[in-house]
Chains A and B, each alone.
Chain A
Amino acid sequence: MKSSESLKNSDAVEYEGGTYDVIVVGAGHAGSEAALAAARMGNKTLLITISLEMIAFMPCNPSVGGPAKGIVVREIDALGGEMGHNIDKTYIQMRMLNTGKGPAVRALRAQADKHAYHRQMKLTMEREPNLTLRQATVDQLIVEDGVCKGVITNTGARYHSKTVVLTVGTAARGKIIIGELQYQSGPNNAKSAVKLSENLEQLGFDLERFKTGTPPRVNGNTINFDETEEQPGDVQPHHFSFDTPDSKYIAVSDQLACWLTYTNPTTHGIIRANLNRAPMFSGVIKGVGPRYCPSIEDKIVRFADKSRHQVFLEPEGRDTDEYYLDGVSTSMPEEVQQKIVHSIKGLEKASLMRPGYAIEYDVVAPYQLHPTLETKIIKNLYTAGQTNGSSGYEEAAGQGIIAGINAGLRAQSKKPFVLSRSDAYIGVMIDDLVTKGTKEPYRLLTSRAEYRLILRHDNADFRLMEKGHAIGLVSDARVAKMEAKKKQVADEISRLKAIKFKPSDDQVNDFIESHGDNRLKDAVSAADFIKRPYVDYQTLLRFIPAPAEKLDRHVIEQVEIQLKYAGYIKKEEQKVERMKRMEAKRIPDDIDYEDIDGLATEGRQKLEKIRPETLARASRISGVNPADLAILSVYIRQGKFSKKDHEK
């Protein structure tokens, strides 16, 4: 009795902790970007985290990038964020995916040294002059008259600020589930934050319960790699940040490989025999999990006819032999997890270091947010990352930088910053979240972007650097470099447009015929000639003089893309133009949907719930039909608002 009494909790005495411009709560991938952005904009910023060891930690797979996500990393970099630099300093393998496809869907992915990644980000933040790091758990927000004015921590500190950003991730009333075992916990057994969720509920937020999970880790010294296939990195240099030169690229021989193996009918038999112990199916897990990141038990049940599933063995870093078993995310009991692992080829003797687990956590239903990521209920309060229902480090970081920027801008009484769907994947993601909401942890996919040919990884600098510069996150020198590149591209394109290939040119015609095509009948410009499938920039140089100034491969890539795919790009730009006109039609903040006759009930309810800022956003809400939009636009035009305002 006595010993348990000595373990009883007691509360700290409150004290004044200080005053800041911006406070960021949580130091995962969203919190890190938010804090750095706010601080670099000149705001006195405080970052509070439950554990300093969890800064930019990767509790799930040790990798950054991939389709859509890789483009987000480039966008963060172009805006002046840190993720690109941080992974370029700490990767152990780099690969460009989808190289056989078009330029819009190529995607860079790195395997990260997860501990180095964490240490590097922590160091960067420690060295940021305007940024203070503090280990504590935030229990409560200080809210006066619907405006957030600071936070109170479990250590009793009352911190005051102009704005607050919440990026609390799976710590929000987190609960880990492994078979029959359940306990309160944040990611990777870090502390969970319970009181903050209760506080948010009291403040009137609608919280939802989501679920995610992670696979077991094993000791690499006990893996029989001979039974698996090696997956090496790329020879050709690539980095995430536009600043990292090719010369920094780690030779592929010095990179660490991943390894591929498979589950088999024995594995599936073990899982089926133990489904009654799987929290996913026994009803223990109530949170909604992501479809695109299913647990192995989910895969076996939903795709019963598949005889094997891929398992990628990913090294977690250079200073560890721990391996991440990508493909077997599970919340089965530890005992069953061991059997599953041992049934897989190459893992027969693998020593389990950590069991996989499912984790349930609270999410602020994102319809409660503005596109700036400020909450609608509490002014000057922003949320980002898993707190908003997303999943993935890159998605979190992308929201984090936007929330940090807007919290920083508000602290400086400046206009907010919003990226549109045609500006960036980040814009697509935030618009999806705040307009459509999400029923499962939201992951970016290239198919979510309607203008993906414009939102490429190779042009993120052209798209966003100027914007980052205007906010104060991108240096003059960096923008000048980007402008110089842009000019080189434009100059070379004009040069190629001016050079003509004549039908009398036998050398060119012989080349054309060697590719089974017809000889030239009319003169054709080099800019048009490059559109042929068998021609690239280097081919052109066989027939025309090289440019006066030697062009680097990034410039040549832009020239090729802009010329070869000009027709498609133009079509997409026209679509963007049309959408922008609708984006310009704003819906007044104080609109009363009850006052509008003729809206369909479903449309009215959805509009009332989401309260879109523009007609374009209203049009993307499912359940709002074209007639509702027509009525809404006529109603707005009638100017009833101004009349009402006068009456007030």
Chain B
Amino acid sequence: MANSENDTIAAISTPVGEGGISIIRISGDDAIPVAQKIYKGKNLAKVPTHTINYGHIIDPDTKEEVDEVMVSVMRAPKTYTCEDVVEINCHGGLLATNRILQLVLSYGARMAEPGEFTKRAFLNGRIDLSQSEAVMDLIRAKTDKSMKVALNQLDGDLSRLIRHLRKDILNVLAQVEVNIDYPEYDAVEEMTTKMLKEKAVDIQQRIQALLKTAKQGKVLREGLATAIIGRPNVGKSSLLNSLLHEDKAIVTNVAGTTRDVIEEYVNVNGVPLKLIDTAGIRHTEDTVEKIGVERSKKALDAADLVLLLIDSSAPLTAEDRELLTATKDKKRIVILNKTDLPQKVDLAELKRLIGGAPLVETSIVKHEGMDQLGQKISHMFFNEGIESGQNTVMVTNARHIGLLHQANDALNDVLKGINDGMPVDLVQIDMTRCWDLLGEITGDSYQDELLDQLFSQFCLGK
């Protein structure tokens, strides 16, 4: 399972959430072909070396346009790693950057190990001995941490699901192996391609469900579901507009949703937020509806994060208290708005009611406090919500998703092989690949696992 020295690697090479541009760097023999698979623009195989090319990243599966990008093509040997290097410069923000990385990983690159670009640069003679000491330090320092983070990050449920999947695949593999190595053994059913197909379809459905529901993946792909709530006229609409206005990267209306429940995406300090029911916010603000609070409560159900607005210039109302109670089990940030007006709210009481939740004071109309709000959100997401460390969090997530996509592709190959009438032991090659890929997610790649399974499950040997 060890990574090969010459395969194609990729990673996000800019600190996430900083600056308007993010770069996904790809290095290795297949760097250009991999990029070409997800790029619409010039033929990258034919552009001169060390050029920057305008184009779009397209998801080949859905044909959907992911981002507008500039792609640098640099051919070996005059590159950082002395290998072919492609850098995709995208608009930044977690959402687009990670989607592009996922695509790159799904289409043939693998996630770079910590320090691996530098390591290759060294191994290919690009940097000298003194610099290489630094490489070793980097590998040492980053590996322990990233391994820990990788393990910690793995959602308990996801990890359990994947171990179950692997166990089911292992049973299939063991049965095929027994048929091969012990053809005369009578107590095990012959694994036919028909049975293998049923298993493959079942496992594929579970992987696809995982891809849809795995929490980390969902956040990265769809954004953190965020509800802006508060009683009428507290400033929800202003906050919404302010967030949308601040964000230069992505504002997308999701097609196909009902008129009432429009979702909008914003990127706040690198964290993708999916704002729930923005239409509702506007609607209630516009008409000063009585049902505003009820509506807010509904939005709460679907929210991962709640931004609760309180009017600083008025005493707490029953509605405020009701909303504070309704959100007490949610991850929330309380925004004390309208601090430009004289303060009338009982701050001591408010602090008591919100417990440990962060409190941010803003005057949205005067553009005050928005930076602090952004920092709170990213702090919550990176430091409290998942794990500390910026790169590793997202990179590892994208890695999981990339591996799940590859596992899914392996199962497509299994099904194709079966349809083409290939014998079980060939189809099994792709089934084994699926098993290995899932093992990379959980870090289980004990090589003798299969043999152990074989001999514990079946009474073999004459």
Contacts and interface: CB of A to CB of B under 8 A. Distances in A.
B426 A630 contact: no
B4 interface: yes
A163 to B, nearest CB: 33
A638 interface: yes
A294 B182 CA distance: 14
Given A310-B186, A531-B420, A637 B459 contact: no
B177 A446 contact: yes
Contacts of A68: 181
B440 to A, nearest CB: 11
Contact of A630 (B113, B129, B181, B420): B113
Contact of B462 (A105, A310, A622, A627): A310
Nearest to A630: B139
A557 to B, nearest CB: 15
A56 to B, nearest CB: 21
A104 B423 CA distance: 10
Contacts of A638: 129, 132
A329 interface: yes
A142 interface: no
A221 interface: no
B139 A582 contact: no
B288 interface: no
B283 interface: no
B451 interface: yes
Contact of A631 (B4, B139, B186, B422): B139
Listed residue (A97, A293, A634, A638) with the most chain B CB atoms within 10 angstroms of its CB:
A634
A67 B181 contact: yes
B429 A97 contact: no
A623 to B, nearest CB: 11
Interface string A320-361: 000000110100000000000000000000000000000000
Given A292-B455, A329-B462, A446-B177, A634 B119 contact: yes
A299 B185 CA distance: 14
B356 interface: no
Given A447-B177, A447-B454, A533-B421, A104 B6 contact: no
Interface in A98-126: 98, 100-102, 104-105, 107
Given A101-B179, A329-B462, A630-B116, A581 B5 contact: yes
Given A102-B424, A531-B420, A634 B136 contact: yes
Given A102-B425, A598-B140, A634 B461 contact: no
Contacts of B135: 634
Contacts of A102: 422-426
A586 interface: no
Contact of B420 (A302, A306, A445, A533): A533
A115 B139 CA distance: 61
A139 interface: no
A183 interface: no
Contact of B450 (A447, A531, A619, A637): A447
Given A292-B455, A598-B140, A572 B122 contact: no
A532 interface: yes
B429 A622 contact: no
A622 B113 contact: no
Nearest to A565: B426
A131 interface: no
B459 A453 contact: no
A309 interface: yes
Contacts of A61: 462
Given A622-B447, A630-B115, A634-B123, A578 B462 contact: no
B3 interface: yes
A327 B136 contact: no
A571 B429 contact: yes
A445 B181 contact: yes
B20 to A, nearest CB: 33
A387 B346 CA distance: 85
A578 B7 contact: yes
A181 interface: no
A626 interface: yes
A568 interface: yes
B143 interface: yes
B460 interface: yes
A27 B355 CA distance: 83
A292 B144 CA distance: 38
Contacts of A634: 119, 122-123, 132, 135-136, 139
Interface in A58-103: 61, 67-68, 97-98, 100-102
Nearest to B443: A625
Given A67-B180, A292-B460, A533-B421, A585 B429 contact: no
Contacts of B450: 447
A438 to B, nearest CB: 10
A292 B185 CA distance: 12
Contacts of A291: 455, 460-461
Contacts of B179: 98, 101
B183 interface: yes
A534 B140 contact: no
A565 B422 CA distance: 8
Interface string A613-626: 00100011010001
B422 A568 contact: yes
Nearest to B146: A627
A278 B424 CA distance: 40
Contacts of B129: 638-639
Contacts of B420: 531, 533
Nearest to A312: B462
B348 interface: no
Nearest to A299: B459
Interface string A417-454: 00000000000000000001000000001111000110
Contacts of A637: 122-123, 132
Given A626-B3, A634-B132, A101 B139 contact: no
A447 B147 CA distance: 29
A456 to B, nearest CB: 11
Contacts of A189: none
A309 B188 CA distance: 12
B187 interface: yes
Interface in B129-186: 129, 132, 135-136, 139-140, 143-144, 147, 177, 179-186
A579 interface: yes
A537 to B, nearest CB: 15
Contacts of A631: 136, 139-140
A598 B461 contact: no
Listed residue (B113, B119, B181, B447) with the most chain A CB atoms within 10 angstroms of its CB:
B181
Interface in A254-297: 290-294
A582 B5 contact: yes
A633 B123 contact: yes
30 contacts: A101-B179, A102-B423, A294-B461, A299-B459, A303-B459, A310-B186, A445-B181, A446-B177, A447-B181, A533-B421, A534-B421, A568-B426, A571-B429, A578-B7, A585-B5, A598-B140, A615-B5, A622-B447, A626-B3, A626-B113, A626-B143, A627-B113, A630-B113, A630-B116, A633-B123, A634-B119, A634-B132, A634-B136, A637-B123, A637-B132
Interface of A: 61, 67-68, 97-98, 100-102, 104-105, 107, 290-294, 299, 302-303, 306, 309-310, 312, 326-327, 329, 436, 445-448, 452-453, 531-534, 565, 568, 571-572, 578-579, 581-582, 585, 597-598, 615, 619-620, 622, 626-627, 629-631, 633-635, 637-639
Given A327-B462, A572-B429, A634-B123, 12 more contacts: A67-B181, A445-B181, A447-B454, A568-B422, A571-B429, A627-B143, A627-B144, A629-B2, A630-B119, A633-B5, A633-B119, A638-B132
Interface of B: 2-7, 113, 115-116, 119, 122-123, 129, 132, 135-136, 139-140, 143-144, 147, 177, 179-187, 417, 420-426, 429, 446-448, 450-451, 454-455, 459-462
The 9 A-B residue pairs with the shortest CB-CB distance, nearest first, are A533-B421, A619-B2, A102-B423, A627-B143, A303-B459, A291-B455, A598-B140, A326-B462, A293-B461
